[in-house]
Structure 1
Amino acid sequence: MSDIKSTDTKSQKSRVPVQERSAARVAKVLEVAERLLVEVGTEKMSIPAVAEVADVPRAAIYPFFPDKYAIFSRLAQLHMQRMGGELASSSAERARTWQEWVEIVIKTSAKYYNANPAACVLLLRGSFTDEDHSAHAAKNETIADQLRRKAESLGELPQLPRKPDAAAIAVELGLACMKYGYALEKRISPAVCREATRAVTAYLMAWDATTSSR
């Protein structure tokens, strides 16, 4: 009896905790889903396919992701966080002019997109859920606030208005150029980066000229 008790205790200690096992499964599901997203696209990717490749029961996936769009949303948010980290660690804050800041941010964003095909699909092709859309809006607002603070700190532009939000419009212009480049070439080329920079700076300079002439 003592031997049996000892074996049972050892078995219990070796079990993976439920939360740890769930976290590992979620991580595996996201990893596989991202790979399938690039390989087969959003239409053909499905939770059954993810479950099969990840070797995770479907029943263990649905409590976390009720449908594939929930997976897309989680992956989109993760990529936005990572891109935010890339922008924060870039040389943008050391830019000597707001034009230089714009160029660095666009190049850094393009580099991230080109290195992460799934991010292109998730962030440049549109939102899949309301939650996803809100995360996109928050990301763009954060970048717009950074642009506004940079311009004001350098004293090169008048205070950018918030209604309509000139900084947010500038960010959307740059994003539109990158979306165009991805749709055309499945990547963001240096030429598209230059045009994105040109579009953003031209808009802000034209707004500045209009304001100054009043």
Structure 2
Amino acid sequence: MSDLETPSASDPAARGKRTRRAGLPVQARSQERMARALEVAERLVVEIGPERTSIPEIERLSNVPRASIYQYFPDKYAIFSHLSQGHMQGLMAFILGAHPAGRHTDWRAMTRAVIQDTAAYYNANKAASVLLLKGPFGSNDCKAHFDKDASLARWLRARAQETGLANLPENPDAVALAIEMVFACLKYGYSQEGYTSAAICDQAIAAITGYLANWA
């Protein structure tokens, strides 16, 4: 067969735990089997990388028949998209929980704290780093990444208005462009060092604050 294949807001590692979403099995036995297959897939993504991860290997290590896996995931890229969405939701929940409305009064302090917390989430969840900082993998994954950036942009725009950045343009969207800058820095740092370092966070902070200062 072809090889084409919600926890405490203060704990970035806990936020990496997956929750079952629509589209997965409803029977308890099937849920357990698919959860086992997904756990193996996530482990393989970290240990051998997305390129070498395959459904036959997931089958071998999880003892879940590939026919059962194919019922829900037509190829390995669908699995990557599913795992990515889980980590995107975890990242957003972690950020929202750590930075409630009213916590910040200065936009510079807010952006620094959010970037540092984002790095903490990635460093606590190795699979998230691989899937979100090396991806996207395929068209469905692209949509998941886009949705994550859009959710983060909406939240940041609301917080920016509370902290001294009330007139950020929407066309082009200054907040969306700032988020792209940050993730470009984080992706580059991860590709070079294999984790999100304090130095790369400082570069991301400098990039976004320098850009957003135009509207301060």
| TM-score normalised over the length of structure 1 | 0.85
Q: Given residue 111 of structure 2, which amino acid in structure 1 is its aligned partner? A: V
Equivalent position to 1:91, from 93, 99, 105 = 99
Distance 1:92 1:170, change over 3 A: farther
Return the alpha-carbon distance in structure 2 between the equivalents of residues 88 and 18 of structure 1: 29
**Does 1:145 pair with 2:154?**
yes
- Match for residue 210 of structure 2? 202
Question: What is the root-mean-square deviation in Å for CA atoms of aligned residues?
Answer: 1.6
Whose radius of gyration is greater, 1 or 2?
Answer: 1
| 1:144 and 1:168 in contact (8 A); partners too | yes
For residue 70 of structure 1, report the CA deviation from its aligned partner: 0.7
Percent identity, aligned pairs only, is 48
| 1:182 and 1:188 in contact (8 A); partners too | yes
For residue 161 of structure 1, report the CA deviation from its aligned partner: 1.3
| 1:92 and 1:105 in contact (8 A); partners too | no
CA deviation string 1:140-194 (max 9, x = no partner)? 111111221112123x224211110000001111111111110110001111111
| 1:25 and 1:56 in contact (8 A); partners too | yes
- Match for residue 13 of structure 1? none
| 1:157 and 1:208 in contact (8 A); partners too | yes
Q: Given residue 125 of structure 1, which amino acid in structure 2 is its aligned partner? A: K
Return the alpha-carbon distance in structure 2 between the equivalents of residues 195 and 203 of structure 1: 12
Return the alpha-carbon distance in structure 1 between the equivalents of residues 84 and 166 of structure 2: 34
- Match for residue 35 of structure 2? 27
Runs of 4+ in 1 over 3 A off after TM superposition: none
The 3-state SS of whatever aligns with 1:49 is helix
- Match for residue 166 of structure 1? 174
For residue 39 of structure 1, report the CA deviation from its aligned partner: 0.8
| 2:78 and 2:140 in contact (8 A); partners too | no
Q: How does 1:50-89 map to 2 (within 5 A)?
A: 50-89=58-97
Return 5+ residue gaps in structure 2 as ranges.
1-24
**Does 1:120 pair with 2:129?**
yes
| 1:36 and 1:45 in contact (8 A); partners too | yes
Give the structure with the higher percent helix: 1
Return the alpha-carbon distance in structure 1 between the equivalents of residues 65 and 115 of structure 2: 41
| TM-score normalised over the length of structure 2 | 0.84
Return the alpha-carbon distance in structure 2 between the equivalents of residues 96 and 190 of structure 1: 23
